[in-house]
Structure 1
Amino acid sequence: MSINMQVDPDELASNYIELTNDLAYAQTFYPDSKVRSYLNELAVTAHQKSIKIARPLTINLNLLLTKRFLRQFGLYVGSFVTPY
């Protein structure tokens, strides 16, 4: 899996869960094997890919929630503040 390859996020999540389950099994029963090292490298690549996919969504969601919260909070506070 190339880090720049386009992957469906749902498919990536499903494969990542399966991969980490296999990695846990390999770490438990074959701690010094090449298979464990290979699965670990795949898990790192999949994790980096998932972060690359999720980061723009998280940033946009945070901006939206922050702006909306501040706008609503400003209206709420403004209704109780009386000018002198």
Structure 2
Amino acid sequence: MIITAKPDDIKEQLMAEFGCGMTLISAVGGYSGTERTVLYFVVNRFQVMKMKDIVQKLDPLAYITLTEVADIFSVNQDKT
């Protein structure tokens, strides 16, 4: 998860580099009260450093949290 005040710049660069999408979540800082965006972005362990370098270059004040994911799957919503 990437918490940033520059979501558009980071989103575009990550999508260009990794060729995948992400989920954007509107948020408000609990301490500052300022609006932020949380980018939920899944990478594998080999891509973490590249992702961190991109984010830090575009927004040195961004927060990044890493959470281990056990599995990823998609549920087909089309029942036809």
TM range (shorter): under 0.3
- With structure 1 as the length reference, what TM-score do the two structures score? 0.23
Higher Cα Rg, which structure? 1
Bigger helix fraction: 1
Bigger strand fraction: 2
Larger RCO (CA under 8 A, 6+ residues apart)? 2
